[in-house]
Amino acid sequence: DSGVTQTPKHLITATGQRVTLRCSPRSGDLSVYWYQQSLDQGLQFLIQYYNGEERAKGNILERFSAQQFPDLHSELNLSSLELGDSALYFCASSAGPQGGELFFGEGSRLTVL
Amino acid sequence: GESVGLHLPTLSVQEGDNSIINCAYSNSASDYFIWYKQESGKGPQFIIDIRSNMDKRQGQRVTVLLNKTVKHLSLQIAATQPGDSAVYFCAETGVMTTDSWGKLQFGAGTQVVVTP
């Protein structure tokens, strides 16, 4: 158990819809990272937050947004969903802003029909 | 469990043998490299890391080798066990800045299957 909690574990929705994925980092970790894992693209970095502030951005679509709250949990919002958004979405956390060893949650499996 | 990839290269290893997993990375300026293990239905799990100023680093039953000349990284697992069956990913950070450590660029992964 990495200590990172993600909900929901599975989510099935329709194209055009919006979903929110939630992540609670390990106790004491200030950085949260979101990654997308799909069969054709592998693991792709989306975005990082550190202590509530956006720290680094990867290949995150404009339809996607994230935030980190004062209690350090994070949410990833995916809107106007397309079939190609079907993937595993992982959250990871680390103590500081500079990553190093990341602790990954078990992921949220999103299926868009 | 869930599949993480349909077309991953596969390494079949007999229990007790040593495994060598290879990875070619793309950015010659990358400063930091990490190996992750992903078991079916789980998130990636950190195994070992290495900085670009090193060419070898050892952990418990694992060794990472870095050859910057040919941009090659390898993970050696000694005395492979059934619990080592998983997908193994190498990852690089590119040039390290204050923002780049968590911005990992993952390789496609190698499926390791340990047979009794």
Say what the pLDDT of residue B99 is: 60
**Average of per-residue pLDDT across A61-87:** 97
Q: Which pLDDT does position A40 carry in this prediction? A: 77
Low-confidence ranges of chain B (pLDDT < 50): 1-6
| B46 vs A4, A31, A101: nearest CB | A101
pLDDT at B27: 84
Using a CB-CB distance cutoff of 8 angstroms, which residues of chain B are in contact with residue A102?
A: 44, 46, 102, 104
CA distances from B85 to B13, B14, B37 (A): 9, 11, 9
Average pLDDT of span A56-82:
96
> A8-12: long-range contacts at Cβ-Cβ below 8 A with a sequence spacing of 24 or more?
A8/A108, A9/A106, A9/A107, A9/A108, A9/A109, A10/A108, A10/A109, A10/A111, A11/A108, A11/A109, A11/A110, A11/A111, A12/A111, A12/A113
Q: What is the pLDDT of residue B64?
A: 97
Pairwise CB contact (< 8 Å): B102 & A101? no
pLDDT value of residue B31: 85
Read off the pLDDT of residues A1-52 as tens digits, 9 standing for 90 and up: 899 999 999 999 999 999 999 999 999 999 999 999 998 778 999 999 999 9
- Percent of chain A residues topping a pLDDT of 90: 81
Q: Select the residue of B34, B93, B98 nearest A97 (Cβ to Cβ).
A: B98
Q: CB distance from B45 to chain A under 8 Å?
A: yes
Does the pLDDT of residue A86 top 90, yes or no? yes
* pLDDT at residue number B6: 46
Which of B41, B43, B93 lies at the smallest CB-CB distance from A105?
B43
Q: What is the pLDDT of residue A59?
A: 84
Q: Report yes or no: B103 at the A interface, CB cutoff 8 Å.
A: yes
Work out the mean pLDDT of chain A and round it to a whole number. Answer: 93
Residue A98 reports pLDDT greater than 90? no
Contact yes or no for A37 and B99 at CB 8 A: no
| Residue A8: predicted pLDDT | 98
Predicted local distance difference test score (pLDDT) of residue B100: 60
Q: pLDDT band at residue A74, thresholds of 50, 70 and 90?
A: very high
